[in-house]
């Protein structure tokens, strides 16, 4: 029998976009992977995981492997509650939701706070993963520039004033990464945090505060979250991926209890991996977390400094970037004549990868001279080798082939 297969009409929520993100990264041993937004393999507390997993099975095995889980869930939430005062925050049990990574928290909050066709505003550049989540949720996205103090709040306020005066739609949501922004590495100033909180309250929109990198803080100083200034209009989101291991897929959201209850309706998997929470709960009770974070920050500070020194030595004044005080990334601007998208193929041929800037803008033309370089994954020797390869790739990109 001959079958005639007709073209199936897939959901309009499936945009024609290539797969991107750490989960889809391919490993090529000969390539220095500056493209990876990965923590260092040496950062993983493997022995602590082994001991915690053994304890979880020995002490709570039957409960931890059941749908409802064991006491580890309460231990994880208790740790989050105890840690939040560092950001000027207070949160109760009913204001916290543990999720399958921070991206699930972002997606669920977006579903709760917006409808298809609503407006959402973002930084420019911004994290491509969240932009894609907004696209699949059918939202209209508008971007606003950043400078060395973060999001340009004056421009955002002027746009809000204009929209209200003209009777146009106001945003339902503003997405901000306040610490060591991905990709720029910039930290939002306290004054601008306060102003954003005021604007959210005055114009009645929510802020998604994605604070994934907050613990990777090379100065040791903590500044208040946006949430601390307007808890009734902010959903605060963070993750264990950058500080323990991304493979455990644990993140969390802090928000008003009504928002959290509504978010649970969009969590079809029920409770987030209760066995993983049991293991992490055991770890957080027993490990010296402050010492662990100190070790991570010392390692990453050294790697950042090596990358900066090599970039300046090899490229001289040919490139520019702002030195981040923490996080994973350097955001490098190349000189006139270098298109970083065109440079990708040359870079792979030379033995290094990076993410070209167009991935972080709503229109690709805005990022054609930028590259995001991750300094956390590679060791110092690999960073030096990778920067040399990057320089060779930039020369090839500018020379006629």
Residues 6+ apart with CB under 8 A from 152: 144, 145, 146
For Cα atoms 204, 231, 284, give the angle at the middle one, nearest 5 degrees. 145
Residue 6 lies in a domain: no
Torsion angle defined by CA atoms of residues 276, 279, 282 and 285, in that order, rounded to the nearest 10 degrees: -60
Q: How many CA atoms lie within 13 A of 96 on its CB side?
A: 24
Same domain flag for 186 and 316: no
Question: 91, 80 in Cβ contact below 8 A?
Answer: yes
What DSSP string describes 193-241? HHHHHHHHHHHT-EEEEE-TTTT-BSS------SGGG-GGGEEEEEEST
Residue 13 lies in a domain: no
Counted residue by residue, the chain has a size of 401
The 8-class DSSP code of residue 89 comes to: -
Same domain flag for 119 and 263: yes
Residue 69 lies in a domain: yes
Same domain flag for 300 and 153: no
Structure tokens at 52: 């915690």
Same domain flag for 260 and 297: no
Residue 18 lies in a domain: no
- Which residue, among 352, 366, 359, 362, has the nearest Cα to 397 in the 3D structure? 352
Distance, CA of 365 to CA of 367 (rounded, Å): 6
Distance, CA of 57 to CA of 71 (rounded, Å): 12
**Structural domains of the chain, count:** 2
Torsion angle defined by CA atoms of residues 327, 190, 96 and 122, in that order, rounded to the nearest 10 degrees: -70
Same domain flag for 268 and 363: no
Rounded alpha-carbon distances, angstroms, from residue 345 to 37, 353, 393? 19, 9, 8
Same domain flag for 225 and 261: yes
Which of 261, 286, 311 is the last residue in one of the domains?
A: 286
Which of 247, 265, 286 is the last residue in one of the domains?
A: 286
Which of 286, 308, 335 is the last residue in one of the domains?
A: 286
Same domain flag for 178 and 260: yes
Same domain flag for 212 and 328: no
Per-residue pLDDT of the chain (401 residues), as tens digits, is 566 667 777 777 766 666 555 544 455 667 899 999 999 999 999 999 999 999 999 988 899 999 999 999 999 999 999 999 999 999 999 999 999 999 999 999 999 999 999 999 999 999 999 999 999 999 999 999 999 999 999 999 999 999 999 999 999 999 999 999 999 999 999 999 999 999 999 999 999 999 999 999 998 888 999 999 999 999 999 999 999 999 999 999 999 999 999 999 999 888 999 999 999 999 999 999 999 999 999 999 999 999 999 999 999 999 999 999 999 999 999 988 889 999 999 999 999 999 999 989 987 667 899 999 999 999 999 999 999 999 999 988 775 44
Distance, CA of 168 to CA of 233 (rounded, Å): 21
Question: 203, 157 in Cβ contact below 8 A?
Answer: no
Instruction: Identify the CATH number of the domain in which residue 331 sits.
Output: 3.90.1150.10
Same domain flag for 251 and 346: no
How many other CB atoms are found less than 10 A from the CB of residue 3?
Answer: 4
Same domain flag for 273 and 385: no
Helices (H), 318-379: 340-350
Q: How many CA atoms lie within 13 A of 398 on its CB side?
A: 12
Q: Domain span at residue 36? A: 24-45+290-398
Same domain flag for 33 and 66: no
Residue 80 lies in a domain: yes
Residue 73 lies in a domain: yes
Same domain flag for 274 and 362: no
Residue 7 lies in a domain: no
């Amino acid at each position: 029998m001959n079958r005639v297969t007709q073209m199936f009409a897939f959901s309009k929520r499936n945009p024609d976009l290539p797969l991107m993100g750490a989960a889809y990264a391919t490993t090529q041993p000969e390539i220095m992977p500056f493209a990876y937004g990965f923590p260092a393999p040496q950062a993983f507390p493997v022995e602590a995981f082994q001991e915690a997993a053994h304890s979880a099975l020995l002490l709570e095995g039957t409960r931890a492997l059941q749908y409802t889980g064991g006491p580890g869930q309460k231990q994880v939430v208790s740790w989050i509650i105890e840690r939040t005062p560092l950001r000027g925050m207070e949160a109760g049990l009913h204001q916290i939701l543990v999720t399958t990574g921070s991206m699930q928290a972002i997606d669920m909050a977006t579903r709760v706070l917006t409808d298809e066709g609503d407006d959402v505003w973002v930084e420019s550049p911004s994290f491509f993963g969240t932009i894609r989540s907004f696209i699949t949720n059918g939202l209209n996205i508008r971007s606003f520039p950043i400078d060395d103090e973060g999001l340009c709040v004056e421009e955002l306020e002027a746009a809000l004033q204009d929209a209200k005066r003209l009777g146009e739609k106001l945003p339902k949501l503003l997405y901000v990464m306040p610490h060591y922004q991905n990709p720029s590495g910039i930290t939002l100033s306290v004054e601008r945090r306060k102003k954003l909180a005021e604007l959210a309250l005055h114009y009645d929109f929510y802020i998604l505060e994605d604070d994934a990198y907050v613990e990777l803080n090379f100065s040791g100083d903590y500044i208040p979250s946006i949430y601390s200034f307007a808890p009734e209009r902010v959903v605060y989101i963070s993750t264990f991926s950058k500080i323990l291991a991304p493979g455990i897929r644990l993140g969390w959201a802090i928000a008003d209890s009504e928002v959290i209850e509504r978010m649970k309706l969009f969590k079809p998997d029920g409770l987030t991996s209760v066995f993983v929470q049991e293991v992490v709960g055991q770890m957080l009770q027993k490990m010296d977390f402050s010492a662990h974070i100190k070790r991570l920050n010392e390692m990453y500070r050294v790697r950042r400094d090596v990358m900066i020194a090599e970039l300046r030595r090899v490229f001289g004044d040919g490139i520019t970037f702002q030195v981040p005080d923490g996080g994973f990334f350097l955001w490098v601007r190349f000189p006139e004549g270098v298109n970083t998208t065109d440079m990708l193929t040359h870079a792979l041929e030379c033995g290094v990868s990076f993410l070209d800037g167009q991935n972080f803008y709503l229109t690709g033309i805005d990022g054609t001279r930028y590259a995001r370089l991750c300094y956390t994954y590679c060791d110092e020797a690999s960073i030096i080798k990778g920067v040399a390869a990057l320089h060779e790739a930039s020369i090839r990109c500018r020379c006629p082939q």
